[in-house]
Chain A
Amino acid sequence: MKVKYFAWVRERIGKAEETVEPPASVRTVDELIAWLSNRGDAYAHAFEKPKVIRAAIDHAHVKPDAAIAGAREIAFFPPMTGG
């Protein structure tokens, strides 16, 4: 699946998007965050406060317990500050 990062999540990880293939045991958004956090210091830094991180699946906001099965694109970003 494609994963996208925005704002300081993107800066900390050092890339705007990538393709990842988490194992089948990773079923939800918060499990994916935990799995990504183990990919290195940059990821651990970006996801150090998982409760602050917002997520979207295929362009719609989702909660941390949302299932990721079938997702084409998952995005992680800080709370939004538009408007």
Chain B
Amino acid sequence: MGMAATIRIQEADFDIAREIAALGQGRTDVGAVVSFTGICRGTEGSEPIAALTLEHYPGMAEAEIKRHADEAMARWPLQGLTIIHRFGRIAPGENIVLVVTASSHRQAAFEAAEFLMDYLKTNAPFWKQEESARGNSWIEARDHDDVAAARWTKS
């Protein structure tokens, strides 16, 4: 199909409206755009947190996200795809990750966005450390995230 995904790993925040608009710019074949934004919560479990710090593996983060972007484009008829993942210190209420999918019809856009988020959570090399009154601690991976990713595996 020749469409290239936009993938950015960056410390800076992103503009959701601008990223959505960019996917539809200058074309009339897009009938559906789905966007997912992951945002830093002010609590982890029931404990208030001051911030998250995201560590990542430069080089592999881009490569791993591109592999999943390529798979999403092979599985669903997408006309546009943007994935942005931030690293560094992120305060509650700030954006962490953005996935935007564009397609002629909504089902492909919804499904591809969900597939990508499920895989980003379990396979993209990022690690969250929480900062709270009790000090800093690494957030543990959740089993239900593995289950969410596994449901997309074709048997």
Interface string of A8-28 (1 = CB under 8 A from B): 100000000000000000000
Cβ contacts under 8 Å, A79 to chain B: 122, 140-141
Interface: A78 (CB within 8 A): yes
Cβ contacts under 8 Å, A82 to chain B: 54, 56, 85, 97, 120-121, 124-128
How far does the alpha carbon of A79 sit from the alpha carbon of B96 in the complex, in Å?
18
Interface residues on B, range: 20 to 34
Interface: A71 (CB within 8 A): no
Verify A6–B117 contact, CB threshold 8 A. no
Verify A80–B138 contact, CB threshold 8 A. no
Total interface residues on A, CB under 8 Å, equals 16
Verify A77–B123 contact, CB threshold 8 A. no
Number of A-B contacts defined by CB within 8 Å: 72
Cβ contacts under 8 Å, A61 to chain B: 64, 123
A6-B55, A7-B55, A61-B123 known; A81+B60 contact, CB < 8 A: no
How far does the alpha carbon of A13 sit from the alpha carbon of B104 in the complex, in Å?
50
Cβ contacts under 8 Å, B97 to chain A: 82-83
How far does the alpha carbon of A77 sit from the alpha carbon of B139 in the complex, in Å?
13
Interface: B38 (CB within 8 A): yes
> Per a CB cutoff under 8 Å, which of B59, B63, B117, B121 touches A80?
B121
On A, residues with C-beta under 8 Å from B are 4, 6-8, 56, 59-61, 75, 77-83
